[in-house]
């Protein structure tokens, strides 16, 4: 896609992960002209498989999104690989409807009546040398995504804050060998007692680095002073930030998540935002949502977007026909 599309689309979906593709599927099946622009970097790309997703458990992420793109195209939706570099509202169309301009990094521009932003979130890992290279493999964050796969392994929790003690208890459900590295974070007496009561060993000595073994996996955690605590798997909490690069022109309001967990785009019912005509779905607004919940949010946003377009079109038709509009502002 390298040309400028002069037609006004019903919707552009920015981001083609679970949320964006399901939103587009609802729109395409409602005979809406819809283009999905997707950069092809879903959050779970480093993972081998999607877990906890009914009927599709164990599907590799790339396969899931391939099938999703195919389903959108089956109903006439277009899915293009590309990055949205700019998006902004345009002056209203002659019939008073909303319009937005979306510019891709290759220069293509699209005009749409509505936007669904489903760009996901970025995980910022704690700054521990040697950690990042294992992300999505032996470094995990979510017991529901990959907890079963690391059951019975020696697991280390690299604490990032008080909430990490809860993460430790969740992983303790999956293995009886858990070590909690406090890394200078707060852990009060009750927190310590709870972890100890569940057999979790607490290490307060600062962590220096994650040690990679000869086979490429994690061998352990090196502490200040040189001791290496043998671990095969590490769990961390990440800071989650909405992916809004290039979308600043939309002015979507963001807010902090509780407990310093990151940020999210503020949204209301079915992904509405304070920017009329722009909805959001998936991790960009619900950073804790897994694939199923993200897809469901996208589907709901897509369906509501269609419903609003239907209402706007009925209003416009009524105006054109010259009949009085009663009971609707
Ligand atoms: C390592 C890891 C493993 C996981 N495993 C599981 C699991 O097993 N089961 C599970 O249910 N959940 C899992 N998750 C969570 C899962 O990744 C998210 O729930 C899901 O990806 C959210 O979907 P989304 O559509 O909101 O965002 P994403 O899937 O991240 O999709 C967003 C898309 O938007 C694109 N994009 C962003 N900005 C732009 C732009 N400017 N222009 C164009 N495109 C753009 C991105 O390239 C990406 O393709 C895992 C997460 C991680 C980090």
Say if CB 113 and CB 210 are below 8 A apart. no
Quick one: pLDDT at residue 5? Answer: 58
Q: How much of the chain exceeds pLDDT 90, in percent?
A: 93
As to burial, measured by CB atoms within 10 angstroms (0-12 exposed, 13-18 middle, 19+ buried), residue 301 is: buried
In the reported structure, the alpha carbon of residue 1 is separated from the centroid of ligand 1 by a whole-number distance in angstroms of 23
CA nearest 182: which of 113, 229, 114, 241? 229
Distance CA 36, CA 23 (A): 10
Instruction: Round the average pLDDT of the chain to a whole number and report it.
Output: 95
The CB of 267 under 6 Å from ligand 1? The reply is: no
Phi, psi of 89 (to 5 degrees): -70, 150
Q: Is 80 exceeded by the pLDDT of residue 4?
A: no
Tokens of 219: 């061998």
Report pLDDT digits (tens) over 223-236.
Answer: 999 999 999 999 99
Point out which residues pair with 287 in neighbouring strands: none
Helix, strand, or coil here: 85? Answer: strand
CA 196 to the chain's CA centroid: 34
Phi, psi of 87 (to 5 degrees): -150, 135
Distance CA 270, CA 308 (A): 12
Q: How much of the chain exceeds pLDDT 70, in percent?
A: 96
Phi, psi of 248 (to 5 degrees): -60, -30
Among protein residues, the one with the nearest Cα to ligand 1's atom 38 is 119
Ligand 1 pocket test: which of 1, 21, 25, 42 has the largest number of ligand atoms within 8 Å of its C-beta?
42
Say if CB 21 and CB 290 are below 8 A apart. no
The CB of 294 under 6 Å from ligand 1? The reply is: yes
Tokens of 65: 């999104």
Sign of CA dihedral 1, 62, 74, 118: negative
Contacts with 190 (C-beta within 8 Å, 6 or more apart), sequence order: none
Percent helix, strand, coil in the chain, to 5, is: 30, 30, 45
Looking at ligand 1, which atom is closest to the CA of residue 46? 1
Quick one: pLDDT at residue 2? Answer: 47
Specify the pTM: 0.96
The CB of 290 under 6 Å from ligand 1? The reply is: yes
The CB of 291 under 6 Å from ligand 1? The reply is: yes
Report pLDDT digits (tens) over 257-309.
Answer: 998 899 999 999 999 999 999 999 999 999 999 999 999 999 999 999 999 99
Q: Is 50 exceeded by the pLDDT of residue 155?
A: yes
Contacts with 322 (C-beta within 8 Å, 6 or more apart), sequence order: none
Distance CA 197, CA 178 (A): 12
Among protein residues, the one with the nearest Cα to ligand 1's atom 17 is 44
Q: Place 329 in a pLDDT band, splitting at 50, 70 and 90.
A: very low
The CB of 48 under 6 Å from ligand 1? The reply is: no
Phi, psi of 34 (to 5 degrees): -140, 135
Report pLDDT digits (tens) over 167-203.
Answer: 999 999 999 999 999 999 999 999 999 999 999 999 9
Mean local confidence (pLDDT), 52-69: 98
Report pLDDT digits (tens) over 76-102.
Answer: 999 999 999 999 999 998 888 999 999
């Amino acid at each position: 896609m390298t040309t400028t599309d002069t037609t006004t689309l019903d919707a552009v979906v920015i981001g083609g992960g679970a949320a964006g593709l399901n939103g587009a599927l609802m729109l395409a099946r409602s005979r809406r002209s819809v283009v999905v622009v997707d950069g092809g970097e879903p959050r779970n790309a480093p993972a081998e498989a999607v877990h906890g997703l009914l009927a599709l458990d164990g599907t590799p992420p790339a396969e899931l999104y391939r099938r999703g793109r195919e389903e959108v195209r089956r109903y006439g939706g277009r899915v293009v690989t590309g990055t949205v570099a700019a998006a902004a509202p345009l002056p209203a169309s002659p019939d008073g409807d909303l319009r937005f301009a979306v510019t891709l990094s290759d220069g293509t521009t699209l005009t749409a009546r509505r936007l669904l932003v489903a760009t996901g979130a970025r995980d910022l890992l704690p700054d521990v040398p040697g950690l990042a290279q294992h992300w999505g493999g032996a470094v995990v964050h979510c017991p529901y995504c990959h907890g079963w796969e690391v059951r019975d392994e020696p697991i280390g929790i690299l604490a990032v804050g008080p909430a990490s003690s809860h993460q430790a208890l969740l992983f303790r459900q999956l293995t009886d060998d858990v070590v909690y590295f406090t890394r200078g974070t707060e852990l009060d007496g009750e927190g310590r007692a709870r972890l100890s009561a569940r057999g979790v060993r607490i290490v307060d000595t600062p962590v220096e680095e994650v040690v990679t073994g000869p086979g490429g996996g994690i061998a352990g955690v090196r502490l200040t002073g040189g001791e290496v605590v043998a671990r095969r798997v590490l769990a961390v909490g990440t800071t989650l930030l909405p992916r809004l690069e290039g979308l600043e022109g939309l002015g979507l309001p963001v807010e902090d998540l509780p407990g310093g967990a990151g940020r999210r785009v503020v949204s209301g019912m079915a992904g509405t935002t304070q920017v009329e005509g722009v909805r959001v779905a998936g991790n960009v607004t619900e950073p804790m949502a897994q694939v199923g919940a993200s897809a469901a949010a996208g589907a709901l946003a897509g369906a509501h977007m269609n419903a609003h377009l239907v209402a706007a079109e009925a209003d416009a038709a009524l105006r054109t026909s010259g009949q009085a509009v009663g009971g609707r502002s």
